[in-house]
Amino acid sequence: MWAWGAALAAALVYLTTVFRGGKGPLKVAPALLLAVSVAPASPVAAAALLACAAGDALLLDKARFFLHGLGAFLVGHGLLVVALWDRGVGAPPAGLTIALVVVLLPAAAGLAWRTTGGLRVAIPIYALALGAMVAAAGTVSVLAVSGAVIFLISDGVLAFNRFVRPIAVAEPVVMTTYYAALFLLAAAFL
């Protein structure tokens, strides 16, 4: 459990930096450390968290590597879907999960289609991956669904800030919800 504590400490230190307007490579540490903590229980979930860490590293330079970071997170979501389905009980997704997949994600993809120019294909694919992650989490636990939905919120704020209208507090909100999502998802595998 040392990795869990270290991940929490790294997240808190990085969030303090973000709330002060800074950035830095410590952003990657929580996902890496959570990968270490879940690896014994689920190597696939650990690989998903490593993909998220790669996405974090790439998004340190959003101007040059946004699509690469998006691709790394897409891989991470795909791996989380596999890990969650493997962990799940085979039950159908809960009502909230179905509502998110059927109603909200296509609406988000439609908004992205109007506002993203060259990313018109990538954003809907990414939205579908997020929806699949939420659906897969619905077969596991309330903890997993909470993490997946909070991840969806984090990415929604990021997308709104980037493609619709800038939000003054976007980075602190995105990183706080992102880290919360990672911890909840990781906890679902322990």
What token pair was written down for 67? 């699509």
- Contact indicator for 167, 137 with CB cutoff of 8 Å: no
Q: How confident is the model at residue 89 (pLDDT cuts 50, 70, 90)?
A: low
What value does the mean pLDDT of the chain take? Answer: 88
**pLDDT value of residue 68:** 93
Residues 6+ apart with CB under 8 A from 39: 46
Q: How many domains does the chain have?
A: 1
Widest distance between CA atoms in the chain? 45
Q: What is the DSSP letter of 165?
A: -
- In angstroms, the CA 81 to CA 143 distance is 15
pLDDT in tens, 117-160: 667 777 778 888 888 898 888 888 889 999 999 999 999 898 88
| Domain limits for position 150 | 2-187
User: With pLDDT > 90 as the criterion, what percentage of the chain qualifies?
Assistant: 57
For 20-66, the pLDDT digits (tens) are 988 888 999 999 999 999 999 999 999 999 999 999 999 999 889 98
Q: In whole angstroms, what is the distance from residue 80 CA to residue 134 CA?
A: 10
pLDDT of residue 109: 67
The pTM score is 0.90
* Cβ contacts of 124 within 8 Å, gap of 6 or more: 109, 112, 113
